[in-house]
Amino acid sequence: MAIRSLLALALAFFCAQLHAHHSFTMFDDRNPIVLDGVVEEFQFLNPHSWVMLRAAGPGGVEKTWALEFGPINMLSRRGWNPDSLQPGDRIRVQVDPMRDGSPAARLASAGFMEAPARVPELVGREPPPQRPDPVPMSTEVARDFNGIWLSAIRGLHFDTSFETGDEQVAPLTPEFQAMVDQKKALAAEGILAADPTAACTLAGFPRLLSMVFPGEIIQNDNQLNWYVEWNQETVRIYLDGREAPDGLAHSFTGFTTGHWEGNTLVTHTTHLRGDKLDDNNGVPHSD
pLDDT in tens, 68-116: 988 887 788 778 899 999 999 999 999 999 988 899 999 876 678 888 8
Give the residue, 17 or 174, on which the prediction is more confident.
Answer: 174
Long-range contact set of residues 140-146: C-beta below 8 Å, sequence gap at least 24:
142/263, 143/260, 143/263, 143/265, 144/219, 145/217, 145/219, 145/224, 145/265, 146/217, 146/218, 146/219
Residues 53 and 157 in one domain: no
Residues 162 and 265 in one domain: yes
Tell me the residue type at 278: D
Residues 261 and 187 in one domain: yes
Q: Which of 74, 99, 114 is the last residue of a domain?
A: 114
Residue 11 scores a pLDDT above 60: no
246 in a structural domain: yes
Residues 144 and 263 in one domain: yes
Q: Return the pLDDT at 13.
A: 29
Residues 144 and 109 in one domain: no
What single string gives the DSSP state of each residue in 151-203?
-TTSS--SSTT--SSTT------HHHHHHHHHHHHHHHTT-TTS-GGGGT---
Residues 98 and 167 in one domain: no
Residue 118 scores a pLDDT above 60: yes
Q: Return the pLDDT at 46.
A: 75
191 in a structural domain: yes
pLDDT in tens, 189-246: 766 556 666 666 788 888 787 676 788 999 999 999 999 887 788 999 999 999 999 9
φ, ψ of residue 198 in degrees (nearest 5): -65, -20
State whether residue 147 is helix, strand or coil: strand
CA distances from 6 to 38, 166, 221, 266 (A): 43, 17, 22, 12
224 in a structural domain: yes
CATH number at residue 62: 2.40.50.140
21 in a structural domain: no
| Residue 253, number of CB atoms within 10 A of its CB | 22
Domain that holds residue 57: 31-114
Tally of structural domains, the chain: 2
Q: Return the pLDDT at 59.
A: 83
Q: Return the pLDDT at 163.
A: 53
Residues 260 and 194 in one domain: yes
pLDDT in tens, 249-274: 999 899 999 999 999 999 999 999 87
Using 50, 70 and 90 to split pLDDT, how confident is the model at 64?
very high
Q: What single DSSP character describes residue 18?
A: G
Residues 146 and 105 in one domain: no
State whether residue 17 is helix, strand or coil: helix
Residue 137 scores a pLDDT above 70: yes
Assess whether the previous peptide bond of 47 is cis (omega < 30° from 0): yes
46 in a structural domain: yes
Residues 155 and 250 in one domain: yes
Cα R_g (the chain), whole angstroms? 21
7 in a structural domain: no
Residues 190 and 247 in one domain: yes
CA distances from 25 to 10, 77, 188 (A): 11, 26, 8
Contact 231, 242 (CB under 8 A): no
Report the pLDDT averaged over residues 30-39: 92
Q: Return the pLDDT at 99.
A: 86
Residues 171 and 223 in one domain: yes
281 in a structural domain: no
Write down the mean pLDDT value for the chain: 78
101 in a structural domain: yes
Q: What percent of the chain has pLDDT over 90?
A: 35
Task: Check the CA dihedral 206-169-191-273 and report its sign.
Answer: negative
Residues 144 and 264 in one domain: yes
Using 50, 70 and 90 to split pLDDT, how confident is the model at 153?
low
Using 50, 70 and 90 to split pLDDT, how confident is the model at 18?
very low
